[in-house]
Amino acid sequence: MHRHEGHDACPGDAVDMLARAESLCRERGLQFTPLRRDVLEVVAASGKAQGAYDIAERLSVPGKRVAPVSVYRALDFLMEQGLVHRIASRNAFIPCAHVHAPGEGVIFLICRTCGGVDEESSQDLESGLGRTLERAGFTPAHSILEVEGDCGLCRDRKQAS
C-alpha cells in the first residue's frame, strides 16, 4: 500500500513508531502517556488516514469510553512532536514516516482507491516552491501539499482487471 523511495529513514511499522516516540519524548523530557501511546498506535497501525472520531471509537471499549476531545489533545501533542501529520483535505491523521530535517517540506500522496497515504519529500520541489514564493514576495511559515490520485499498486490492479 505504501511506497517509500528515496528516504533516509523509513521506520514503517507501528512497533518502531512507538519505540521512536518513546525515546524522543524521553530525550525531550516529555510524557509519553498511555493515552498518547494508544492514539499513536491506532494511527500507526492503519495504513490509511484516521479521523479523530474513528480513533476515539477504536480506543473505546464497553465500560471505558475515550472522548474525541481527549484524542484531539493527544493528536495535538503528537503533531507538535512531529510524530503524526494532519491531512487537511481529509480531516484525518497519519503517522509520520520520516525523520524530518528541520524546515523540510513534505508532500502527501493520497490514493483515492485504497486510501493509503504516502509521504514524500523533494528537494527539487522545495527549491521550485522557494523560487515561486520569492517571486511573489511572500514569506512562508508553513505549507501543505497534498496530491490525490492513484498509487502505483492500485493503478496496476485497475489495468489488470
Partner DNA sequence: GGCGGCGGTGATACACTGTAACACTCGCGC
Partner DNA sequence: GCGCGAGTGTTACAGTGTATCACCGCCGCC
**Least distance CB 17 / DNA (angstroms):** 17
CA distances from 18 to 5, 133, 160 (A): 22, 37, 37
Measured distance CA(160)–CA(34) in Å, rounded:
44
Name the residues that contact DNA, by CB under 7 A: 30-31, 33-36, 51-54, 65-70, 72-74, 77, 91-92
Question: Residue 8 or 27: which CB sits closer to its own copies?
Answer: 8
52 binds, among DNA, its own copies, none (CB under 5 to 8 A by kind): DNA
**Least distance CB 57 / its own copies (angstroms):** 23
Measured distance CA(117)–CA(87) in Å, rounded:
9
**Least distance CB 41 / its own copies (angstroms):** 27
Question: Residue 57 or 126: which CB sits closer to DNA?
Answer: 57
- The residues with which 64 forms a beta bridge, in sequence order, are 61
Question: Residue 15 or 149: which CB sits closer to its own copies?
Answer: 149
- Close Cβ partners of 37 (under 8 Å, ≥ 6 residues apart): 18, 21, 22
Measured distance CA(30)–CA(24) in Å, rounded:
8
**Least distance CB 56 / its own copies (angstroms):** 21
Name the residues that contact its own copies, by CB under 8 A: 3, 5-6, 88-89, 107, 109, 111-112, 118, 120, 122, 124-125, 127-129, 131-133, 135-152, 155
**Least distance CB 119 / DNA (angstroms):** 19
Measured distance CA(42)–CA(66) in Å, rounded:
13
On the CB side of 147, CA atoms within 13 Å amount to 11
